[in-house]
């Protein structure tokens, strides 16, 4: 293919994708549906810019891997342990009960029991990539139903390994996997988990410490990418899920002070590959086959989604979640997941199902994904219209839990002497905070005494996104370099205009610059130090505390005008 054709395909890809995402977000169906529809237009049924959409999908599955790595970074082991009831209790029951129901459904359609069991297990799983993207777009990852949804998805990711192992066992085709003793397969799995554990707990933090001290950003980016892809490769080699490997190493690194920096480095790759993944899924849609048998395909897809939604709703109620939470989980998780592409491909290879059945299953998965945003909107509307008397107690319970989970923290930028004092004040008042500092020694000192201090260079704007700056109660900028402060203030004001800022400056001249660009809370360090010295002097010579406080208040009025200071 010539360079001209490659450039033309890229122009088509970017144009159609951008227009599609804008349109579908405008009608509140979400960017994921826009990406799927762009894939339909660009795929074999449309403009056919690639002849191998399946190969593209295999490559872009790394987007799902990167997404799970970022989720792992936010899921510290103690937090995962707190979700054990939802993961291993609710998640296990959801998968097993739904799989049994769909197995009987597919047996009724004429499949053999072994093929029906694989179809039941595959269709019982939901789309981690799709659902987590929806939750992130709606800022609902940390809500009660968001955590419950994640717990179910995590169990499904853990179940991928044994389900894949069932395929050769249920088929009548001799495979290499059948000849490997069970103890050897177990040893391989244990070895893979051990390798990832050693990488995440010892090797990666040690290497990052060396490279960060050298301020070698290119090497840091390479190490982050190698960490994620390397762990995915190790898991894939021993027969485990790539996504599980990325999640595991992300969770191991979640306690590291590099956590937010790692997320900032990996975010652009995740966004690009995840978008391409959904486009490649859209390319898998065969429009001709869909138009010929659309009624049957849509009917089966909706029937399977209804079965899953009913089971999800009932199990959530059985686990004593509120009806609001149960309803929202049921409307977020009834779709079929991307793992179905992998599982059903393996089933075709072992002759468990036919090529024609595989095409049908791909269409059902895609239809369920496209339908999910509509179902989510329906769930939102239904939730809002439920009787206040019937749902009042549930709504109060859910709202209070959300408020506790979403308690906003103060972001402190710079953990030098000034930053340490600010963090001490916030601690004394029990106000949550997160501090960013680019000096590793300062970070280590802060974490040694149990403070929430993380490595992060604010010259990289992505670090602010990684720490969710838009959710902060306020941002306190304590860095002493005026150029960095000015650049940071301009960035924050342009991207987050309603975010309260408290800025440290050296003198009145710098303070006036900050006031001129709209910062309302600026503290001139030299002037405030002089005022404190003056206050102590007055105390020594016998002036009362009331008199000195009144004088200092007067001197601070009207931009310190009464001090008659030079601005240099």
Can you give the pLDDT of all 568 residues of the chain as single tens digits?
567 677 777 788 788 888 888 887 777 666 777 877 888 888 777 777 766 666 666 666 677 777 778 777 776 666 667 777 888 889 899 999 999 999 999 999 888 888 899 999 999 999 877 787 778 777 777 677 788 888 898 888 777 767 776 777 777 655 444 456 666 767 877 888 888 888 888 888 888 888 877 777 677 778 888 888 888 888 878 776 677 788 888 888 887 777 777 777 777 777 777 777 777 777 767 777 777 778 888 898 999 999 999 999 999 999 888 888 888 889 999 988 877 776 787 787 677 888 778 778 878 888 888 788 888 888 888 877 765 443 444 444 444 343 333 457 899 998 888 888 889 888 888 888 999 888 888 888 888 888 888 888 777 777 887 787 877 888 998 887 878 888 888 888 877 888 888 888 877 777 778 877 778 788 887 777 787 888 888 888 888 888 888 887 777 775 666 665 555 5
Which of 503, 525, 482, 508 is CA-nearest to residue 563? 508
Rounded CA separation 260/250 (Å): 11
CB atoms within 10 A of CB 297: 18
Confidence (pLDDT) at 100: 94
Query: What is the 3 state secondary structure string of 246-301?
Result: HHHHHHHCCCCCCHHHHHHHHHHHHHHHHHHHHHHHHHCCCHHHHHHCHHHHHHHH
User: Would you state the structure tokens that stand for residue 276, as one six-digit string?
Assistant: 């391409």
Tokens for 31, please give them.
């960017």
- CA–CA distance, 147 with 70 (Å, rounded to integer): 15
CB-CB contact of 372 with 130 (8 Å): yes
Separation between Cα atoms, residue 183 and residue 75, nearest integer Å: 31
Q: Which of 160, 111, 131 is nearest to 360 (CA)?
A: 111
Calpha distance 467→452 (Å, rounded): 12
> Rg of the Cα trace of the chain?
28
Q: Please state at what angle helix 525-540 crosses helix 545-560, rounded to 10 degrees.
A: 160
DSSP assignment letter at 171 = S
How many angstroms separate the CA atoms of 454 and 438, rounded?
A: 8
- 133-139 long-range contacts, Cβ below 8 Å, gap at least 24? 133/30, 133/31, 133/32, 133/67, 133/274, 134/30, 134/32, 134/332, 134/372, 134/373, 134/376, 135/332, 137/30, 137/31, 139/471
Give the separation between CA 552 and CA 540, rounded to whole angstroms: 16
Tell me whether residue 445 is exposed, middle or buried, using C-beta atoms within 10 angstroms of its C-beta: 0 to 12, 13 to 18, 19 or more: middle
Neighbours of 409 (CB within 10 A): 17
For helices 91-108 and 113-124, the axis angle rounded to 10 degrees is 140
List the one residue out of 270, 273, 312 whose CA is nearest residue 155: 312
SS3 220: helix
Alpha carbon distance 40, 293 (integer Å): 17
Whether residue 150 contacts residue 71, with contact meaning beta carbons closer than 8 Å, is answered with yes
* β-strand pairing of 474-477 with 501-505: parallel
The crossing angle, in degrees rounded to 10, of helices 440-448 and 204-213 is: 130
Domains of the chain (ranges; CATH) run: 52-172+183-384 (1.20.1530.20), 394-524 (3.40.50.720)
Distance CA 262, CA 258 (A): 6
Backbone φ, ψ for residue 524 (5° rounding)? -80, 115
- pLDDT for position 472: 86
* Alpha helices (H) along 27-61: 31-42, 53-60
Please tell me the total number of residues recorded for the chain in this structure. 568
β-pairing verdict for 453-455 and 474-477 = unpaired
């Amino acid at each position: 293919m010539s360079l001209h054709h490659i450039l033309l395909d890229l122009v088509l890809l970017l144009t159609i994708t951008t227009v599609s995402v804008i349109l579908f977000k405008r009608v509140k169906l979400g960017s994921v549906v826009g990406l799927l529809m762009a894939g339909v237009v660009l795929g074999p049924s449309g403009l056919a810019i690639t002849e191998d959409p399946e190969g593209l999908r295999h490559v872009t599955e790394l987007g799902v891997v990167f997404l799970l790595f970022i989720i792992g970074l936010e899921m510290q082991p103690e937090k995962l342990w707190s979700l054990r009831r939802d993961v291993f209790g609710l998640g296990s029951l959801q998968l097993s009960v739904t799989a049994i129901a769909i197995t009987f459904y597919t047996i009724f359609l004429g499949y053999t029991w072994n093929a029906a069991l694989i179809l039941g297990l595959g269709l019982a799983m939901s789309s981690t990539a799709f659902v987590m993207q929806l939750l992130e777009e709606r800022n609902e990852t940390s809500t009660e139903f968001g955590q419950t949804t994640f717990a179910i998805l995590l169990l499904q990711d853990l179940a991928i390994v044994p389900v894949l192992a069932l395929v050769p066992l249920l088929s009548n085709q001799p495979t290499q996997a059948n000849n490997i003793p069970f103890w050897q397969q177990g040893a391989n799995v244990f070895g893979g988990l051990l390798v990832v554990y050693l990488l995440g707990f010892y090797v990666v933090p040690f290497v990052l410490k060396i490279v960060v001290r050298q301020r070698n950003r290119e090497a840091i980016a390479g190490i982050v990418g190698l960490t994620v892809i390397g762990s995915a490769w190790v898991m894939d080699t021993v027969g485990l899920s790539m996504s599980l490997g990325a999640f595991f190493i992300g969770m191991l690194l979640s306690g590291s002070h590099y956590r937010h920096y790692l997320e900032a480095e990996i975010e652009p790759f995740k966004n690009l590959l995840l978008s391409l993944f959904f486009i490649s899924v859209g390319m898998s849609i065969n429009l001709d086959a869909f138009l010929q048998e659309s009624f049957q395909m849509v009917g089966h897809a909706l029937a399977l989604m209804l079965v899953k939604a009913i089971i999800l709703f009932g199990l959530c109620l059985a686990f004593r979640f509120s009806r609001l939470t149960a309803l929202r989980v049921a409307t977020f998780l009834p779709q079929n997941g991307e793992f179905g592409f992998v599982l059903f491909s393996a089933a075709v290879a072992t002759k468990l199902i036919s090529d024609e059945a595989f095409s049908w299953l791909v269409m059902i998965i895609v239809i369920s994904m496209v339908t999910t945003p509509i179902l989510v909107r329906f769930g939102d509307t239904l939730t809002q219209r439920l009787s206040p008397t019937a749902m009042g107690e549930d709504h109060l319970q859910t709202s209070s839990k959300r408020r506790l989970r979403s308690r906003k923290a103060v972001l402190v930028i710079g953990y030098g002497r000034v930053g340490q004092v600010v963090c001490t004040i916030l601690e004394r008042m029990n106000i949550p905070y997160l501090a960013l500092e680019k000096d590793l020694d300062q970070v280590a000192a802060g974490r040694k005494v149990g403070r929430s201090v993380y490595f992060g260079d604010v010259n990289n704007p992505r670090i602010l996104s990684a720490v969710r700056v838009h959710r902060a109660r306020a941002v306190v900028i304590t860095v002493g370099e005026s150029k960095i402060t000015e650049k940071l203030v301009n960035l924050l004001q342009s991207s987050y205009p309603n975010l309260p800022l408290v800025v440290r400056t050296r003198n009145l001249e710098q303070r006036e610059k900050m006031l001129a660009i709209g910062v309302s809370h600026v503290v001139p360090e030299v002037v405030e130090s002089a005022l404190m010295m003056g206050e102590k002097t007055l105390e020594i010579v016998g002036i009362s505390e009331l008199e000195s406080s009144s004088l200092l208040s007067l001197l601070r009025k009207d931009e310190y005008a009464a001090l008659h200071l030079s601005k240099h």
